[in-house]
Amino acid sequence: MAPQHSECSRSSAWGKPQKNPDLHALYSFREDHDSRLINKLPLRDVKISGTVFSSRFPHDLMTSFRIDPAAIVHTLGPEGTFSDQAARVFQPLQEQVRYSRTFAEALFQVSANPDAIAVVPIENSVAGTVSQVQDSLVSEDLVILSEVNLPIGYSLLASAELEKIQTLYAHPQALEQSSGFVTRQLPGARPSFTYSNIDSGIRFLEQVENSKDPVAALVPASFALKHPQFLSAADIQDYKNNTTRFLLVQKRGKDRRNDFSKTKTALYVEFQEDRPGLLYRMLSVFNLFGVNLCRLESRPSKTTPWMYVFYVDFYNLPETEACLEVLKTSRFSFKILGSYDVKKYQSFPDFEGEPIDS
């Protein structure tokens, strides 16, 4: 059920104001909460095409992949989510970012507009694949342009002693990545799922303001630091090296060419028959050319019950193109989802460290 709010700010925290006032009310948040979220990070000067802009994200985050400074980027909102942080790696201008309530909504914007791009999470090092995004790469015929890896940290906001907490606001991904802590420390809390991690924090603040019920929220560490009076615990993710891969994606163009000099290539593989040894045969082709796989995952085919497809990521070599040519002759049907570079960061959200190239 969508959150209800008594007031609407002049500009929606999720994106541009909607023409339908009821939709605008659905997407908007209280103005005082909006202002807390928007003006949090220190301003930095970012120079693009000879013009200096004020940005809340460091210039050194921008990857080797360049987008048009005027490009609109769709991502999960509202402002301040991990997806938003990843989007600013590619588009540091906040006014060029459009926020969606769900990953599917962001990807729909891309599938409907060939000029649109989106930044979405594809995989977490603890919780695994974001299946909704993974499947959409194929169903919406999207292409991967770039990847960024960001470390993810969570904190707990609470309005009472933990044993008294009745409701826990959490995004499903946050709950999965912090399930051990929640099980041990909040045994009586009932999860209330939210659109995003920032939405969890906003609902928590609104509940504290309007009710005396004991509540808590799983929020990004950066959000918790701005509300220290409610900070109950920090670094509560189950694994300290918790990391998420985010993809920059776009609708596939007719003349799209793959550049195998990039770091990685991602494939979608279907078998045209069902017999023993098919997976072994596919892997033997990669082994023949010395191609190092960095990901292999099966997913339901969606078209035939109990038939499966494979998502394969590998590091490019000079032999990549020859390897794929041999794969074509092996009775496998595959689609190249993209060849792209990767940036990895050791610190988040301040990004004090330099990126580590894959």
pLDDT value at residue 347:
62
- Identify which of 14-28, 204-218, 295-309 has the greatest average pLDDT: 204-218
**Which of the two residues, 277 and 180, has the higher pLDDT score?**
180
53-70 residue pLDDT tens: 233 333 333 345 678 888
In this prediction, residue 272 has a pLDDT band, given cuts at 50, 70 and 90, of confident
Beta-bridged to residue 231, according to DSSP, are: 157
Among 105-109, 256-260, 282-286, name the one with the lowest average pLDDT: 256-260
Cis peptide before 355 (omega within 30 of 0): no
Separation between Cα atoms, residue 309 and residue 297, nearest integer Å: 8
Q: Would you call 125 helix, strand, or coil by DSSP?
A: coil
Burial of 184 (0-12, 13-18, 19+ CB in 10 A): exposed
**Which of the two residues, 58 and 168, has the higher pLDDT score?**
168
Give the DSSP letter string of 329-356. TTTEEEEEEEEE-EEE-SS-SS--SPPE
Separation between Cα atoms, residue 240 and residue 154, nearest integer Å: 10
pLDDT value at residue 115:
87
In this prediction, residue 18 has a pLDDT band, given cuts at 50, 70 and 90, of very low
pLDDT greater than 50 at residue 143: yes
First to last CA, the chain: 41
In this prediction, residue 356 has a pLDDT band, given cuts at 50, 70 and 90, of very low
Average pLDDT, the chain: 81
- Identify which of 4-8, 38-42, 48-52, 198-202 has the greatest average pLDDT: 198-202
Neighbours of 330 (CB within 10 A): 14
pTM, whole model, 2 decimals? 0.78
pLDDT greater than 90 at residue 302: no
In this prediction, residue 346 has a pLDDT band, given cuts at 50, 70 and 90, of low
pLDDT greater than 50 at residue 354: no
